[in-house]
Structure 1
Amino acid sequence: MKILLLRHAECLGNVDESAYCRIPDHALPLTPHGEECARAVGAEVRGLLEPGPVAAYVSPYLRTRQTLTLLGLGGLLERTLIEPRLREQDWGNLQDVAEQQALKKQRQAYGHFFFRLPLGESGADVDDRVAAFLSELWLARADSRHPRTVLIVSHGLTIRLLCRRLFSWSVELFESLTNLKPCEYRVLRRVSDERDGWQLDRPFEQWRDSPDGSTQM
């Protein structure tokens, strides 16, 4: 099995944080620039997909669904599944700008994995639902009818945690990595039949060395 992990294109919330105060997170649209980037990266994505059918799993948020549509994959997709467990970390309904900034500072000091947003989720909560999704994907792999190539269109933190689960990275290493940029992707390939037998095409950027000394490879 080959898995292509793609972060959604630039959305309104990426360029205007006040948008979270008036538009639900799940309804934030792509910007015009994001739409252009999604179309542009479509050619790269098509080149990375293996010959044969492809299964796409996409977060239900508007920006991820728009990104998938604009990739222009057309008939390459055998099945497309809207997967709520791949959604963004829940910050809790409409947000207040000042409160949002304060929470981001608290989360940075406390740690992104364990800090629980007052009306939303912790990174650990996202980790749990990503693990459930991966377990089902692992079972689907045993079905010969399931495509061998999988495209996942999701969000920065969610993609990082999906890789943390697949590679059994430590929490310290996870918190040392940065999210993929909008429209950035990573490719996962099977290198053995073992459950953890995955290989990442290139590492995530790191803003510091992991305090526990662990690495991505």
Structure 2
Amino acid sequence: PRRIILVRHGQSAGNVDETVYTHTPDWKVSLTDKGRDQAQAAGRSFKKILDGDAAAGPVFIYSSPYARCQETVEHLITAAGVPESRIVGRRQEPRIREQDFGNFQDPQKMRECKVSRNEFGRFFYRFPNGESGADVYDRVSTWLETLYREMEFGLITPDTTLLLVTHGLTARLILMRWYHWSVEAFEETYNPGNAQLMVMER
């Protein structure tokens, strides 16, 4: 593709109140009003990128199936004013979903787990009934293999802008796999801000 743009979802209810996870499944947690505003601002930034490139071609969107990512896509694309005719692909991709932290999450236990994770290492630590960063890396890797095949088959052309709307840790693991970072290099990174665009260009 001409460029790949990674976007973390806008601020979600879980970002401001972790007790949300005690009664709402992670994949159903929605954006806050601020998160919707952030997604719209990201859309305006996305528009500037496309408008500033006369050779920019179609747009292909991959997004996590989680509600906060789906809502981010809708607000971003609407604010960017991208016509449907320009969007040649739009897929929900479960392999770029959030790290699984377990089902309904007790805030106190999660805080304890995160302390243990920092001591053990954020990449290899596996949450009880959930995933490790390494698990997410593995599924992200299989998705990238699918992406490479779609490039080879011409579904994603050299002038395509690929928009990936996902989660903070997942975005970092995509970058880790793409740029062949070491585990130590990954451990030095932190999540991007909500609705922050990370642009990779050829």
The normalised TM-score by structure 2 is 0.90
Structure 1 distance, partners of 2:191, 2:22, is: 23
Alignment of 1:155-174 (within 5 A): 155-174=167-186
Aligned to 2:91: 81
Q: Which has the higher contact order (CA 8 A, sep 6+)?
A: 2
2:61 is matched with which residue: 56, 65, 79? 56
1:3 counterpart = 2:4: yes
The answer for the alignment partner of 1:38 in structure 2 is 39
Q: Which one-letter code corresponds to 2:93 in the other structure?
A: E
Question: In 2, Cα distance between the equivalents of 1:24 and 1:48?
Answer: 35
Q: Deviations over 1:172-200 (max 9, x none)?
A: 1101111101011211123xxxxxxxxxx
Q: Which runs of 5+ in 2 are unaligned?
A: none
Structure 1 counterpart of 2:168, one-letter code: G
1:35: how far off?
0.7
CA–CA distance in structure 2, aligned partners of residues 61 and 145 of structure 1: 24
Is the 2:42–2:197 Cα contact (8 Å) retained in structure 1? Answer: no
Residue by residue, what CA displacement relative to the aligned partner does 1:46-84 show, whole Å, maximum 9, x if unpaired?
222462211100000000000000011342322110000
Following TM superposition, by how much is the alpha carbon of 1:125 offset from its aligned partner in structure 2, in angstroms? 0.2
Moved over 6 A (4+): none
**2:36 maps to amino acid:** E
| CA separation of 1:126 and 1:145: change in aligned 2, threshold 3 A | closer
Higher helix share goes to which structure? 2
Equivalent position of 1:133 in the other structure: 143
1:101 to 111, 114, 117: 111
Amino acid corresponding to residue 18 of structure 1 in structure 2: T
What residue identity is the alignment partner of 1:79?
A: G
Q: Percent identity?
A: 41
Identify the residue that residue 124 of structure 2 maps to in structure 1: 114
